[in-house]
Amino acid sequence: MTYSSFLVSEFLVLWRRKQDVFNALLFFVIVVVLFPIGINSSPEFLAPAAAGIVWCATVLAILMAVEGMFKEDYHDGSLEQLVVSGLSLPLLILLKIVAQWLTVVLPLLLMMPLLSEMLYLPSSGFWVLTMTLLVGTPSLFFIGVIGSALTVSIKQGAMLVMLLILPFYLPVIIFSTLAVKASQAGLPYSGLLAMLLAISLLSLVISPFMTAIVVKASVN
């Protein structure tokens, strides 16, 4: 096994289980739809709240996708193969995250124009929201995989991952929604985007190593 063959096989697995990716996307849309129906469907409420709604839905959808990331591999033994393969485990985990991020976030971004129309988000806010998604979602994946690896041996791990990981997502949600709000108020928002990028980079540095520690402990 090499790094490139691993990446190819990851994409192949994701392609063959496209229903899962599709489900995550559908889940995302349904959560977004809950807000106008449950709270208020007037443009006066939705336009300022749109960024928050989209981000809450994104966080939940990504957590659902990330939660099962190692489960299949753990049960069929391929996770053990990664550990004994002789390749760098943190790097393999990083590649896995990249594959997962591309397959989950890109369709989600493609949905954004449609959703922002449904939520009456003005076009200036739309571009900022898209940018926050681009720079913010990597950190969600990086932090999420730690939780996913921690609970890989537990049967009903989804709830536990939510409880463990959601507190860590708060800063990302806060910075993103503040950035969109600032742009809607005509204020500069590049500092907030830089903070999001900083969180993503920080988690990029920490997460693969932490996840590797946990994965090694889990497969023994």
Partner 1 sequence: MSWAWFHKLGSPKWFFSWSKPWALPVFCFGCLSLLIGLVWGLVFAPADYQQGNSFRIIYIHVPVAMLAQSCYLALGVAGFVFLVWQMKMAPIFIKAMAPIGAVMALIALVSGAIWGKPTWGTWWVWDARLTSVLVLFFLYMGIIALQNSLDDQVLANKAAAVISVVGLINLPVIKYSVVLLETLHQGPTFTLTKKPDMPPEMWLPLLFAVIGLYCFVAGLLIWRMQSEILKREYRSSWVKQEVTEHGL
- Is 157 in contact with 151 (CB distance < 8 Å)? yes
Which residue carries 């076009």 as its tokens? 123
Which residue carries 């709830």 as its tokens? 159
- Is 53 in contact with 120 (CB distance < 8 Å)? no
204 scored as a contact of partner 1 (CB under 8 A): no
Q: CA-to-CA distance for 180 and 192, rounded, in angstroms?
A: 9
Total of chain residues touching partner 1, rule CB under 8 A: 27
110 scored as a contact of partner 1 (CB under 8 A): no
- Stretch of 5-13, 74-82, 116-124, 142-150 contacting partner 1, by CB under 8 A: 142-150
200 scored as a contact of partner 1 (CB under 8 A): no
CB of 170 to partner 1, least distance (A): 6
Residues of span 15-34 touching partner 1 by CB under 8 A: none
Of the candidates 166, 213, 175, 169, the residue with the CA atom closest to the CA atom of residue 193: 175
User: Which residue number, 47 or 174, has a Cβ lying nearer to partner 1?
Assistant: 174
- Is 172 in contact with 62 (CB distance < 8 Å)? no
CB of 86 to partner 1, least distance (A): 22
CB of 13 to partner 1, least distance (A): 25
CB of 147 to partner 1, least distance (A): 8
Residues of span 145-184 touching partner 1 by CB under 8 A: 146, 150-151, 153-154, 160, 163-164, 166-168, 170-171, 174-175, 178
7 scored as a contact of partner 1 (CB under 8 A): no
- Is 143 in contact with 165 (CB distance < 8 Å)? yes
DSSP 85: S
H helices of 68-186, in order, are 71-76, 78-84, 89-118, 123-150, 158-184
Contacts with partner 1 by CB under 8 A lie at 143, 146, 150-151, 153-154, 160, 163-164, 166-168, 170-171, 174-175, 178, 195, 199, 202, 206, 210, 213-214, 217-218, 220
